[in-house]
Structure 1
Amino acid sequence: MPFPFTLPTTSSVLLSDSFSSVTHPSLPLQVTTKRSVLKDALKKHKRLAAQSRSSHLSIVQEALTSYIPYLLTLKTASSYRDVGTERVDVEIIKPLEVEWRTTLTAALPGREAPRPKLTGIHHEVAFTFSTLAHTHVLLARSQLGLLYGSASLSPDQRTSTLAAAMKHLLEAHSILKYLLSVPSVSAARDAPMDIQPSTVSALASLALAEATLVVVSKDDPYAAAVAEDRDETNRDWMFKAPTIPKVRAHLFARICLAAAEHASQACGLLTGNATGKVDEDVVKYANDLRRTARAKAVRFLAIDTELSGKTGEALAWLRGAKKELGLASELEDGKRKGFRGLKQSWQEKREDRKIEKGGEWGMDAGRFEEARVVEMLEAKWDRENSTINVQTVPPFEPLLARLPTGREYHSPQPYEPPTIDPYTLTQLRAPPDPEDLAFRGDEEDSGGEDGYGRSNPPGAFPGAGTDYGRSATSNSYY
């Protein structure tokens, strides 16, 4: 399950204070308007309840894709380059100063993430594109969430849902890779951890790893069988057993190992940065995704071995899968036993409750769900091995030592950012009406020093914090 990113918010900025254009005087005004619409969309998204944010993501995506062409036009023209075939002269009056809320940088517990002041249009470009990538990941997350909802999906619905999620994840990967190719962004050393090149590269690797695992999930009947078994409204078990078609197990194992390699690369980039610290939830998620991908690979190798009639060796592979998950617990009659088994059951029930309430579930990167699949197969094969064909279960360590190499499935296409069409660019040559003002947004600026967002004294009426402050001529509250 993709990571539940928190979309950042930003301050209100009048770009005409920093840029002016002789050839296209309406350009700074239009960029300010488009940015204000984006600022409002992000702030409204932040205030929504967790259950309502998925339906609002399309509005945020539209605001981003409408703002990006104007932002890139302004950046290109300020670097003394032509925009397409047209010459656009933009003069920098003063360096652009913007504020973006950092959501991936480690912060003190219980406090909202800071909103540092950033100088330079390259920081604005970096935060805008990274926010668009996070939006695509959240859209993929909303699609995959349908697979774990209360209603069971038909095979065709499941396939279309997974295909849509895969498309969003690949788009997020391409956007982040494009961001790394922007020289001013990749060379920035004063940027927050959210847009540091190492963080952007790690998030690109995570998106590709998740997209690779979606390929396997599309044709993984065992995960679908476990999801149906968990669905309380499903009554198919009364009259038929779940159909488990044969899968290309060895190929799927190599694809999962490729996903594990991408997740391992992300772990190294997130933990090896000496300039700052990334939020622990992101680091833990990357590590859990690596564990889940490797466990899936080992589980598919177990399926490939069992199809060859080697039930004992297949059980050894499953024990290796539980070792990779870090959730190894002994089974007795298909049920967990011991304190570790009790703790794992409690964690899974807690995750199920998060799914029902629509909260930030999936922080384990699918580890608990994979554990259920492994234990379902282990209980089934152990019964068969004990009653029909008794085979010795060898140790799993030598098996894990000879895992095959990973195999890439995707060939991500380079991202092509949207551009202003020539007709719209020509319209910007018209001078703005002196009575027209740039749209500054309907939302208040939540990071300024003008009192918005300032904490109120205990018992104070909301918004009346300034009435309780000390006066300039008195040292008393009274």
Structure 2
Amino acid sequence: MPFPFALPTTSSALLSSFVESATHPSLPLAATTKRSVLKDALKKHKRLAPRDRTAHLPTVQDAISNYVPFLIALYAASGLRDVGTERVDVDVRRPLEVEWRSTLSATLPGREPPRPTLIGLHHEVAFTLSTLAYTHSLLARSQLRMLHDATMMSNEQRTGAITAAMKHLLEVHSIHKYLLGLPSISAAKDAPPDIQPSTISALAALALAEATLLVVSKDDPYAAVVSDDRNESNRDWMFKAPSIPKVRAHVYARLCLAAAEHAGQAQGLLGPGKIDADLVKYVTGLRRTARGKAARFLAIDAELTGKTGEGLAWLQGARKEVGLASELKDGQRKGFKGLKQSWQERREDKRVEKGGEWGMDGGKLEEARVVEMLEAKWDKENSTINTQLVPPWEPLLANMPSGREYHSPQPYQPPQLDAQTLALMRAPPDPSESVFRGDEEDSGGDEYGGSTNEPVGAFPGTSHDYGRRGTSNSYY
């Protein structure tokens, strides 16, 4: 958690061939330069090894942030709107035609996602801001990744990492909501699945669900105890039993139910068959995790009031929500289903250690560990001390309370060109200076381990000394 989005790549485009400005003639060429830097950053990010991409995310974020003001200025001026307090005249020579990699489209195994040609500035705005949202989501994921490292983290460090991830996810939600507020994007009929209104709305709901769950995770001591218990370097085995005040346990349950509602909304908007199956599976798992957490907190609330039997019933409902099929006997899993779950957990732990695509189940395995820990502890106490009857869990789940919202997301304010930069755009472009078109070829491989621009056998960085590029398809 969050979902590991793949950043799309794009083709080069000379924006001055599609738009021109009588009042600010340098604006299209300056935008082309910023876009070329973004294109190169996305290509280089795709070629990096998965373990090296996290460190490159700030570079991609800066490239997008530098391009967005120029793109928004062109988009606003082409719609006869002012840029800030200044009037900018932009004439569209012909509709913009660019290619973007559709990374959320459902594709056959072993095939690259499609790279459709998109027509219009509104598609360029949608893909650029969506890529910025994906980057924020990956930055949030990198913050939460530290919680699974082998090193021990203090409560302050844990809270800081979760708070930073929460801010990134709220920014993701705001960006998607901003895109839905643009009429040309919300009404687009020819958009690929990545930037269709239903997909953008689903991703906004997904980000809000993830951010709401992080509010609970920030103050959830049980998940931290399970994580530390799994850590081999943890020697602090004599710790005070975690406790949650009664009122807060009930509040946390309602927050989890609100997150489950947002995840359920996203699940309904992501139509099967058009969107990547991994994303649909993740959203489904996140919804079940949120409902399992809610049942677990209601169990804690019941146990704190001395109703251990009811608490065990709530835990049985939590097991049902997260899909925990194995049963416990003397605190140990039994049967083939228990072996299968243990194998899945070990495989997930190895993914975390190696920096792989962990958390693709939406956090169900982590929540299942917490539920089993509490169930084993309370069942032992109930069998030896309290001896309370465990009621059926079905009526309890049917009468869950309503969700409660926590966040009040602020609207996204895209960066605008300042007055000084706009004033510089009034000068005509220097004919002696050529616009930067980027160092990456459109035909070059944009995947990890793909082809490069260097001729075969050439020393790196000397491609300009050769008569042809290394990506030529000619035999001679």
TM-score norm. by structure 2 comes to: 0.93
Alignment of 1:269-280 (within 5 A): 269-271=269-271, 277-280=274-277
Show the counterpart of 2:6.
6
CA distance, structure 1, for counterparts of residue 82 and residue 175 of structure 2 = 23
Q: Does 1:206 align with 2:213?
A: no
Question: Where does residue 297 of structure 2 map in the other structure?
Answer: 300
1:317 aligns with 2:317: no
Structure 2 match to 1:219:
219
Whole-angstrom distance in 2 between the partners of 1:199 and 1:464: 35
The separation in 2 between residues aligned to 1:82 and 1:16, in whole angstroms, is 20
Describe the superposition over 1:340-362 as per-residue Cα deviations: whole angstroms up to 9, x where unpaired: 11111111111100000001111
Q: Report how many aligned residue pairs link the two structures.
A: 455
Deviation of 1:132 after TM superposition, in Å, equals 0.6
Q: Which amino acid aligns with 2:357?
A: E
Q: Distance in 2 between matches of 1:229 and 1:190?
A: 51
How far is the alpha carbon of 1:464 from its aligned partner? 7.8
Aligned to 2:381: 384
**Residue 282 (structure 1) aligns with:** 279
Per the TM alignment, residue 465 of structure 1 is displaced from its structure 2 partner at its CA by 7.9
- Tell me what 1:232 maps to: 232
Instruction: Say yes or no: does 1:122 pair with 2:119.
Output: no
Paired residues for 1:289-368 under 5 Å: 289-368=286-365
Structure 2 stretches lacking a partner, 5+ long: 452-468
Query: Quick one: distance in 2 between partners of 1:465 and 1:174?
Result: 43
Distance 1:437 1:377 in 2: 67
Asked if residue 426 in structure 1 is aligned to residue 423 in structure 2, the reply is yes
Preserved contact between residue 257 and residue 405 of structure 1 (Cα < 8 Å) = yes
- Give the superposed CA RMSD: 1.8
Deviation of 1:246 (Å): 2.2
| Cα distance change on mapping 1:233 and 1:31 into 2, 3 Å | same
Distance (Å, rounded) in 2 between the aligned partners of 1:466 and 1:11: 18
Task: Please point out which of 413, 416, 441 is paired with 2:413.
Answer: 416
Which residue in 1 is equivalent to 2:244? 246
Aligned partners of 1:150 and 1:231 also within 8 Å: yes
**Displaced runs of 4 or more, over 2 A:** 462-469
8 Å contact from structure 2 (residues 285, 362) kept in 1? yes
- The answer to whether the aligner puts 1:51 opposite 2:51 as a matched pair is yes
User: Equivalents in 2 of 1:302, 1:320: separation in Å?
Assistant: 9
Q: TM-score, normalised by structure 1?
A: 0.93
* Aligned equivalents of 2:354, 2:299: Cα separation in 1: 35
Confirm whether residue 466 of structure 1 aligns to residue 463 of structure 2.
no
Q: 1:304/1:85 Cα in 2 relative to 1: closer, same or farther (>3 Å)? A: same
Q: What is the CA distance between 1:242 and its match in structure 2?
A: 4.5
Cα contact 1:225–1:242 (8 A) shared by 2:
no
CA–CA distance in structure 2, aligned partners of residues 464 and 310 of structure 1: 70
Asked whether the equivalents of residues 106 and 278 of structure 1 are also in contact (C-alpha less than 8 Å), the reply is yes
Secondary structure, in 3 states, of the residue corresponding to 1:466? coil
> Using the alignment, how far apart are the partners of 1:253 and 1:385 within structure 2?
23
Which residue is 2:136 aligned to?
136
Matched, 1:75 2:59: no
Structure 1 residue runs of 5 or longer lacking an equivalent are: 455-461, 470-478
AA partner of residue 209 (structure 1): A
For residue 239 of structure 2, what is the amino acid of its counterpart?
A
For residues 153-192 of structure 1, the aligned pairs below 5 Å read 153-192=153-192
Q: Deviations over 1:147-178 (max 9, x none)?
A: 11111110011111111010000000000000
User: 1:103 & 1:322 partners in 2: Cα distance?
Assistant: 34
Q: Name the % identity.
A: 70
Give the drift of 1:82: 1.8
- 2:346, 2:432 → 1: CA distance? 60
Give the 3-state SS of the residue equivalent to 2:270 in structure 1.
Answer: helix
Match of 2:433 in 1: 436
